[in-house]
């Protein structure tokens, strides 16, 4: 069964850090482009960070998160991480990871495809930034 499971979300104060994990089962993430997306209440889904099949040097970030978010792969654990530093209240959202075999990294982060149209899509983890 193809599955992505996110974890690592929680309540954090502004300026804090979190590391989100996206663990894959049923397939090898190395062969897929992977993206982290977020959706806040009442807002459109936003692609925040994506990594291509070329590895950690093949990445794309949304302008709103550049310098604060880092996406990385752990091949041994079949996992993609999202390190989030200097969290801001506007980072509050449900964060999802998704994987697709066909999309290149640039296309992944701007895709408006419904979750069912991608090869795998997780259930999300909630990040709340508040003092």
> What confidence score (pLDDT) does residue 115 get?
80
**pLDDT score, position 28:** 96
- Dihedral over Cα of 46, 19, 92, 42: its sign: positive
Distance of CA 64 to the CA centre of its chain: 14
SS3 97: strand
Rounded to 5 degrees, φ, ψ at 2 are -80, 125
Per-block mean pLDDT, blocks of 10 residues, the chain (131 long): 95 98 96 97 94 91 96 97 97 97 92 85 97 95
Helix (H, G, I), strand (E, B) or coil at 30: helix
Per-residue pLDDT, 100 = 96
In the prediction, which pLDDT does 54 show?
A: 84
What is the pLDDT at residue 75?
Answer: 95
The answer to whether 71 and 81 are in contact (CB under 8 A) is: yes
């Amino acid at each position: 069964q193809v599955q992505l499971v996110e974890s690592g979300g929680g309540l954090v104060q502004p300026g804090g850090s979190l590391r989100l994990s996206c663990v894959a089962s049923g397939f090898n993430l190395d062969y897929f482009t992977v993206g982290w997306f977020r959706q806040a209440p009442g807002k459109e889904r936003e692609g925040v960070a994506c990594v291509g099949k070329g590895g950690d040097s093949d990445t794309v970030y949304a302008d709103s998160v550049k310098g604060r978010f880092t996406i990385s792969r752990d091949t041994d654990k079949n996992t993609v991480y999202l390190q989030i530093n200097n969290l801001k209240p506007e980072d509050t959202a449900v964060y999802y990871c998704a994987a697709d075999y066909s999309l290149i990294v640039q296309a992944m982060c701007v895709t408006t495809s419904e979750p069912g149209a991608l090869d795998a899509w997780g259930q999300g983890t909630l990040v709340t930034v508040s003092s």
